[in-house]
A and B are shown apart, each in its own frame.
Chain A
Amino acid sequence: MKPRIWDRGDLRLLVVGLAFVVAWAGIGYRLFDLQGTQAVALASVGYDQRIRTQAIDPPRGTIYDRAGVEMAMTVDGWNIVVDPQLIEDPTAAALVLAPYTDSDVATLAAELKDAQDTGSRYMEIVARVRVSEKNVISAAVDEADIGGVFYRKQPLRVYPAGSVAAQIIGLTRNDDGSGLEGLERTFNSELEGDPGELIVERDPYGRVIPQGDTRLRPAVPGSNIVTTIDREIQFAAEQALEKRIGETSARSGSIVVLAAKTGEVLAMASWPGFDLNDRSTATPEALRNRAVADVYEPGSTLKAVTIAAAINEGVVNVDTRIDTPPSVTVGEFEYKDHGRNRPSLTVADVVKRSSNVGTIEIERRLGPERHYKYLTAFGLGAPAGLDVAGERHGLLDPPSSWTVTSGSSIAIGYAVGTTALQMAAVYATIANDGIWTEPFLVSQILQADGSRIMTKPRTRRVLSSETAATMRWMLGRVVEEDGTGRRARMTDYTAGGKTGTSQKFDSEVGVYTEDTYASFIGMAPLDDPEVVVVVVLDTPTGELEDGTDLSLGGAAAAPVFAEIAQTALHQLGVAPDKD
């Protein structure tokens, strides 16, 4: 008999053994699958479940005036919200919270009750209050022991000076805080900074795991902007403009105060204005920065360019006599002088008396090509370079498209469109020994890493130093020697400047109307000008006590120049040059 190798018991043992082996092999395979093949993917899934990424908003940069005073800044604002379901007594809660809202106690209590009934879990009670006010509210809530009141932090953009320089600074959006108007918009990318993020590991209940993975990429705060604006001069300009517009019933107006030697914009006022902290006053009209957005025909203030060009080119000198008949006809158009002139005037007297006929004759001698060359050299027909939203180029056609009357019209400030800021730069060229300097509003950008970007304005020589000095002398006669700008005379400083009165063109009808732009552009002190001031009033009306028509630049705008220039020079610490 053949011996049995396997008995029954051995077979059972084998089967059980194999079953174990298979089972353990299965478990082993699964372990290998989880820990080996799928290890990376599963670890990633687990990590994603534990990890939470939290965005960190960068604080928006501050806008300063030239003295380092905040004109726009971001502080912590707070929204006071409630969970109506957690409020036991809506009337008691309303009694505490109503004083900080626009609602009365009864209305707020009713609103809370309604919210409770509808099952709402969220109700905003007060939006965007400052930390000081939030502390007061929270103390009152704690004292009254009201449950269900929560505080949510939200950045709050505030403007400490309210309406001062409102059109320059501009606004930000309420939702994402990005710039909407003015410098807030122009320098939005610099002001907003880069958001950061905080990555932390949290447990299934959302709590931070203390020794878990934590990675912080800090937000880069927005850069700070330092403007060239002098808040005191800006305020004085706005006050003077508002007062004059009230006196003359003008539709609108603008003022520019420029540092003559550097091109810094010290003030830029527009009326109507608005309060930056009260958006309900920010109408489209009020938002308009008229000094750069309103294009007007500058009238006689542009004669300075024509005459400076002619003197610089050697076409005339101050003593050259120019025939000044009562009128001159160019093409089919007759140009007249205001009042009565002598048959001939020197160039200096053409400026002093603001003779249209004399200026047209000088322009004729200069010729269109050279005339245009100087107009563009003075920065007309191109943006002044301020980098402010809404800045306009103005209107200046090249000589190739001039008609027979274009040169004559442009010579006396018609058929050309300029902004108040462009004209300020023109007169600053004369004040600055013939060097045109690009006006600028932001002197430096202070970056989060401590570095700073300084503004370097473009400059170019337009007039010789001698021509500029001659022009200053002639413009001084306009103010100091009973010229058309005598009302611009100041008590403490000598000044020079030019009046401008241009009739407004009605583009719908195609004719010039009786409405005017009354303007005055001047500089002071005359020997070594520190400031250039431009005053433009749109359609001023009325009369002075002596019967002078207030629609004229010499009557309506010149006194405003005197007021602002004197204030600005005092503010800048310039010694008076008059006894």
Chain B
Amino acid sequence: MTSQAIPRSVGRIRGSADSRAVSGGPRIVPLIFFTILVIGVFFLMIYLRIALDRTAFELDTLTDQIAVEESAQLDLRLEIAQLRDPQRIATQAEEIGLVFPDERVALVIAPISAVGDAPSEAPPLSALSTDR
């Protein structure tokens, strides 16, 4: 029992001494990696925050721009409606000397015949033919 216990404990001591000797160097790498990661995340968060703020600012600018354009569009709609004001047109027409005709002639155009119906009269083009 005793003779078995000593080598086992020696082995344990050896083992732990070995592992310390082995991990003394490699354990710094994860620490550095972790530190870099933390710093990276820290700066990433700062960057994201700035980017978010910048986007919010751009969104605000765009919203303002939309409002300005909408306002201009409304103003143009108003201008169109004002240009179509019958009073303005009548005044302008008067200024350039236009008058209502004394006698108006109304031309009543017969409805177009259905597809396939033969025309009852000679077509206008033949009537205008010069070699007749």
Name A residues whose Cβ lies closer than 8 Å to a Cβ of B.
69-71, 73-76, 130-132, 158, 160-164, 210-211, 231-232, 235-236, 239, 491-492, 570, 575-576
Distance in angstroms between the alpha carbons of A132 and B81 in the assembled complex: 16
Q: Determine if B28 is an interface residue (Cβ-Cβ < 8 Å).
A: no
Q: Which residues of A contact B82 (CB under 8 A)?
A: 160
- Interface-located stretch among B31-39, B102-110, B112-120, B121-129: B102-110
A421, chain B: closest CB distance, angstroms:
23
Task: Contact check, A73 vs B77: say whether CB atoms are below 8 A apart.
Answer: yes
Given known contacts A73-B74, A164-B87, A576-B106, A211 and B52 CB-to-CB distance under 8 angstroms: yes
Task: Contact check, B87 vs A70: say whether CB atoms are below 8 A apart.
Answer: no
A276, chain B: closest CB distance, angstroms:
11
A239, chain B: closest CB distance, angstroms:
8
Distance in angstroms between the alpha carbons of A294 and B87 in the assembled complex: 26
Which residue from A131, A160, A575, A576 sits with its C-beta under 8 Å from B72? A131
Distance in angstroms between the alpha carbons of A210 and B57 in the assembled complex: 9
Task: Contact check, A70 vs B86: say whether CB atoms are below 8 A apart.
Answer: no
Report whether over half of chain B's contact residues are helix, strand or loop; otherwise say mixed.
helix
Q: Chain B 61-76, CB within 8 Å of chain A: the 1/0 string?
A: 0000000000110110
Given known contacts A131-B71, A210-B56, A235-B87, A161 and B104 CB-to-CB distance under 8 angstroms: no
Q: Which residues of A contact B85 (CB under 8 A)?
A: 160-162, 164
Q: Which residues of B contact A71 (CB under 8 A)?
A: 81
Distance in angstroms between the alpha carbons of A130 and B72 in the assembled complex: 9
Task: Contact check, B78 vs A73: say whether CB atoms are below 8 A apart.
Answer: yes
Complex A-B, nearest 9 residue pairs according to Cβ-Cβ distance, in ascending order = A160-B81, A235-B86, A76-B71, A70-B81, A576-B106, A75-B74, A160-B82, A210-B56, A131-B75
B105, chain A: closest CB distance, angstroms:
9
Which residue from A75, A210, A232, A235 sits with its C-beta under 8 Å from B78? A75
Q: Which residues of B contact A161 (CB under 8 A)?
A: 81, 85-87
Q: Which residues of A contact B56 (CB under 8 A)?
A: 210
Q: Chain B 13-33, CB within 8 Å of chain A: the 1/0 string?
A: 000000000000000000000
Near A by CB (< 8 A), chain B positions 81-113 give 81-82, 84-87, 90, 103-104, 106, 108
B60, chain A: closest CB distance, angstroms:
9
Report whether over half of chain A's contact residues are helix, strand or loop; otherwise say mixed.
mixed
Q: Which residues of B contact A70 (CB under 8 A)?
A: 77-78, 81
Task: Contact check, B104 vs A491: say whether CB atoms are below 8 A apart.
Answer: yes
B61, chain A: closest CB distance, angstroms:
14
Task: Contact check, A491 vs B75: say whether CB atoms are below 8 A apart.
Answer: no
Q: Which residues of B contact A232 (CB under 8 A)?
A: 86
Distance in angstroms between the alpha carbons of A492 and B108 in the assembled complex: 11
Task: Contact check, A69 vs B106: say whether CB atoms are below 8 A apart.
Answer: no
Task: List 8 A-B residue pairs with CB atoms under 8 Å apart, sorted by A's residue number.
Answer: A160-B85, A161-B81, A162-B87, A210-B52, A231-B86, A232-B86, A570-B104, A576-B106
The residue of chain B having its C-beta at the shortest distance from the C-beta of A231 within the complex is B86
Q: Which residues of A contact B81 (CB under 8 A)?
A: 69-71, 73, 160-161
B76, chain A: closest CB distance, angstroms:
9
The residue of chain B having its C-beta at the shortest distance from the C-beta of A130 within the complex is B75
Distance in angstroms between the alpha carbons of A239 and B91 in the assembled complex: 12
Q: Which residues of A contact B87 (CB under 8 A)?
A: 161-164, 235
Distance in angstroms between the alpha carbons of A131 and B68 in the assembled complex: 9
Q: Which residues of B contact A74 (CB under 8 A)?
A: 74
The residue of chain B having its C-beta at the shortest distance from the C-beta of A70 within the complex is B81
Distance in angstroms between the alpha carbons of A435 and B81 in the assembled complex: 37
Task: Contact check, A132 vs B108: say whether CB atoms are below 8 A apart.
Answer: no
Q: Which residues of B contact A163 (CB under 8 A)?
A: 87
A373, chain B: closest CB distance, angstroms:
42
Distance in angstroms between the alpha carbons of A162 and B82 in the assembled complex: 9
Q: Which residues of B contact A131 (CB under 8 A)?
A: 71-72, 74-75
Q: Which residues of B contact A239 (CB under 8 A)?
A: 90
Task: Contact check, B106 vs A158: say whether CB atoms are below 8 A apart.
Answer: no
Task: Contact check, A492 vs B104: say whether CB atoms are below 8 A apart.
Answer: yes
Q: Which residues of B contact A73 (CB under 8 A)?
A: 74, 77-78, 81
Distance in angstroms between the alpha carbons of A69 and B108 in the assembled complex: 29
The residue of chain A having its C-beta at the shortest distance from the C-beta of B109 within the complex is A575
Distance in angstroms between the alpha carbons of A23 and B32 in the assembled complex: 43
The residue of chain A having its C-beta at the shortest distance from the C-beta of B85 within the complex is A161
The residue of chain B having its C-beta at the shortest distance from the C-beta of A493 within the complex is B106
Task: Contact check, A576 vs B103: say whether CB atoms are below 8 A apart.
Answer: no
A160, chain B: closest CB distance, angstroms:
3
B50, chain A: closest CB distance, angstroms:
11
Q: Which residues of A contact B84 (CB under 8 A)?
A: 69, 160, 231
Q: A75-B75, A131-B71, A575-B106 are in contact. List 5 more A-B contacts (CB 8 A).
A: A71-B81, A132-B75, A162-B87, A491-B104, A576-B106
Distance in angstroms between the alpha carbons of A549 and B90 in the assembled complex: 32
Distance in angstroms between the alpha carbons of A74 and B74 in the assembled complex: 8
Task: Contact check, B77 vs A576: say whether CB atoms are below 8 A apart.
Answer: no
A31, chain B: closest CB distance, angstroms:
29
The residue of chain A having its C-beta at the shortest distance from the C-beta of B74 within the complex is A75
B93, chain A: closest CB distance, angstroms:
13
